[in-house]
A and B are shown apart, each in its own frame.
Chain A
Amino acid sequence: DAKTTQPTSMDCAEGRAANLPCNHSTISGNEYVYWYRQIHSQGPQYIIHGLKNNETNEMASLIITEDRKSSTLILPHATLRDTAVYYCIVRGGSSYKLIFGSGTRLLVRP
């Protein structure tokens, strides 16, 4: 599975959009981009995943560049409860493992 690179930490103001970038320049054609987050003392929570098209659900939007070498997770109106570590994971066609990196620690400020 391709390696991902994320900023160590970010912050944003409550009510504003949080845009979390992820670089996955070695991604191959059958690999999906997954996003999970982990709120303190809880298990990882699935957010969204995509292959090449942009995706949106009730939690977030996922924007994948045309060359698929990077993506951005967008939380449109961040709340204090969105403060968490966000993990970007690339997962291949036959791969069942999730390989977590260090993630981005997002702090939402009041």
Chain B
Amino acid sequence: GAGVSQTPSNKVTEKGKYVELRCDPISGHTALYWYRQSLGQGPEFLIYFQGTGAADDSGLPNDRFFAVRPEGSVSTLKIQRTERGDSAVYLCASSAGAGSQETQYFGPGTRLLVL
């Protein structure tokens, strides 16, 4: 079946602009996660959704970052007033549930470059 998909695959924007990154999880997966990966480092957790609600957004770096999942499927990560330090790969993952036995499956990521 189809895996996690993310669009766009690459995004170049200018400092101060607003961007939206989209994630389509595996069909039927109730849990969805966003991670951010800076060059040379492992992914870092940003936010976790169970259904439509954000169950944990403790990893969001500041209030310029916001994510939604209005119908419990597709999610959008929104970044306002982008800064050069926001440049990274933004990864989305989904799982059938959220327990420690539930495997998270990742998408290919969106590479964001803020000039």
Contact = CB atoms under 8 A, between A and B. Distances in A.
Interface of A: 30-32, 34, 36, 42-46, 49, 87, 91-103
Name B's interface SS: loop
B3 to A, nearest CB: 9
Interface of B: 4, 31, 33, 35, 41-45, 48, 55-56, 59, 91, 93, 98-109
A103 B44 CA distance: 13
A98 B43 contact: yes
A93 B45 contact: no
Given A32-B100, A94-B100, A96-B48, A44 B33 contact: no
B100 A46 contact: no
Contact of A43 (B59, B100, B106): B106
